[in-house]
Amino acid sequence: MLIAERLNTIKSSLPKHVTLIAVSKTKPISSVEEAYKAGHIDFGENYVQELVEKHTQLPKDIHWHFIGHLQSNKVKYIAPFVYLIHGVDSLGLLKEINKQAKKNNRIISCLLQVHIAQEETKFGFNAEEVIELCDSKDIASLENIKLVGLMAMASNTEDTNQIESEFKQVKAIFDTLFSHSASNINMRILSCGMSGDYELAIKNGSTMIRIGSSIFGVR
């Protein structure tokens, strides 16, 4: 019961307002089942095909979070069941999610990804772009999506001051957007923090953490 023990240890240490997403990417069905049997229902996946396979095989009350980089042409595969899409990084992608959500007669909740890390490779909007997007008429017309928050990844560094300053940046944007009020915007989730930095993320306002290796072991 190693997975369940690790999961419960982390869960019991979290403030009540923080939701834990167990990131099961590359891990077998049996590992997800072990966490599910321990009472956990929020799981995160990075790859569309893997997510679809796991959704097919596992209990239907699981909340599947898509946390990877989503390509527009793959939205249709996850639109029937995905619970929350974390890494939305373009208006085009948002429009495609809206279209597929409509086809499935659903409203899909999304987080906008904000680029805070120093590395060039991490996807996402900058602060001005995200605010501009939330103010645009484009958003208000997308009736089958709901923007419920922001997602970000800090730099992969040992420098905790750097990580903390990045988490503070995204929290500041989040606070700015909190009062934005198109009918399909309701910013309440800040998805920041992974195995190595989730405590710092929570200290700086995160309400949703995405933890893989500290629960399921190294990948």
Ligand X SMILES: *Cc1c(COP(=O)(O)O)cnc(C)c1O
By the rule CB under 6 A, 211 interacts with ligand X: yes
Residue 195 CB contacts under 8 Å (≥ 6 apart), including other chains:
211, 212, 213, 214
**In the complex, what is the shortest distance from the CB of residue 213 to ligand X, in angstroms, rounded to a whole number?**
3
**In the complex, what is the shortest distance from the CB of residue 216 to ligand X, in angstroms, rounded to a whole number?**
8
Range 9-48, binding ligand X (CB under 6 A): 23, 25, 46
By the rule CB under 6 A, 186 interacts with ligand X: no
Nearer to ligand X, 144 or 169 (CB): 169
Burial class (CB in 10 A: 0-12, 13-18, 19+), 24: buried
Give the residue carrying structure tokens 């997800």. 32
- Choose the stretch contacting ligand X; rule: CB under 6 A; options: 29-37, 92-100, 138-146, 209-217: 209-217
Q: How far is CA 71 from CA 87, 94, 107, 128, in A?
A: 10, 11, 19, 23
Rounded CA-CA distance 16/207 in Å is: 9
Nearer to ligand X, 147 or 152 (CB): 152
- Choose the stretch contacting ligand X; rule: CB under 6 A; options: 94-102, 162-170, 177-185, 192-200: 192-200
Q: Which residue is nearest to ligand X (CB)?
A: 212
**Could you tell me if 35 and 3 are in contact, meaning their C-beta atoms sit under 8 angstroms apart?**
yes
Give the chain's radius of gyration (CA, Å): 17
Residue 107 CB contacts under 8 Å (≥ 6 apart), including other chains:
101, 143, 144, 145, 146
Range 130-159, binding ligand X (CB under 6 A): 153
Nearer to ligand X, 44 or 144 (CB): 44
Choosing from 48, 67, 114, 189, the residue that interacts with ligand X (CB under 6 A) is: 67
Q: Write the single-letter amino acid at 182.
A: A
Residue among 88, 69, 65, 68 at smallest CA distance from 19:
65
**In the complex, what is the shortest distance from the CB of residue 92 to ligand X, in angstroms, rounded to a whole number?**
20
By the rule CB under 6 A, 113 interacts with ligand X: no
Choosing from 83, 180, 195, 205, the residue that interacts with ligand X (CB under 6 A) is: 195
Per CB under 6 A, residues contacting ligand X are 23, 25, 46, 67-68, 153, 194-196, 210-214
